[in-house]
Amino acid sequence: MIEFFKTRSQAFRYAFAGWWFVIRTQRNAWIHAVASLLALMTCFWLRLPSRDWAVIILAMAMVWMAEFINTALEAVVDLASPGSHFLAKVGKDVGAAAVLIAATSAAVVGLLIMGPPLWQRLHLLW
């Protein structure tokens, strides 16, 4: 039983090391972090219902997962193909496209969910 907890603890350490690597080395992760924080603050300010929160959080998680997978893909491609190679470029470009698709989708989800109540709230302020 103790061995189980030791291995789970180590697994979490590896996961947090990967998380820290992405935050430390990927400039776009900072853009995602700022966008995530702004989205969460806006949800809080608008007092959105829990179902809307859930959808927003899932959309944000989709973007973060794409960014993390893209970073892992880039590292593996760099390891396997340190020189320039057409297929290495394709792999990296497709990984970047996945992040773009996730981020664009999350922005649309955010606008669809937060747009109307945000517009109403801003209209009342002005």
Q: How many structural domains compose the chain?
A: 1
For the whole prediction, is pTM greater than 0.95?
A: no
User: What local confidence, expressed as pLDDT, does residue 79 receive?
Assistant: 96
User: What local confidence, expressed as pLDDT, does residue 91 receive?
Assistant: 96
Q: Residue 67: which of 96, 34, 47 has the closest Cα?
A: 96
What is the residue range of 100's domain? 27-125
Is 76 within a domain? yes
Within 10 angstroms of residue 81's Cβ, the number of other Cβ atoms is 15
Given the residues 67, 70, 95, 109, the one annotated as active site: 67
Are residues 21 and 70 in contact, defined by beta-carbon separation less than 8 angstroms?
Answer: no
Is 55 within a domain? yes
* Residue ranges in the chain modelled with pLDDT below 50: none
- 60: domain CATH number is 1.10.287.3610
Between CA 63 and CA 4 the distance in angstroms is: 31
User: What local confidence, expressed as pLDDT, does residue 78 receive?
Assistant: 95
Amino acid at 66: A
Within 10 angstroms of residue 64's Cβ, the number of other Cβ atoms is 19
Computed on alpha carbons and rounded to an integer, the radius of gyration of the chain in Å comes to 19
User: What local confidence, expressed as pLDDT, does residue 124 receive?
Assistant: 87
Residue 74 designated active-site = no
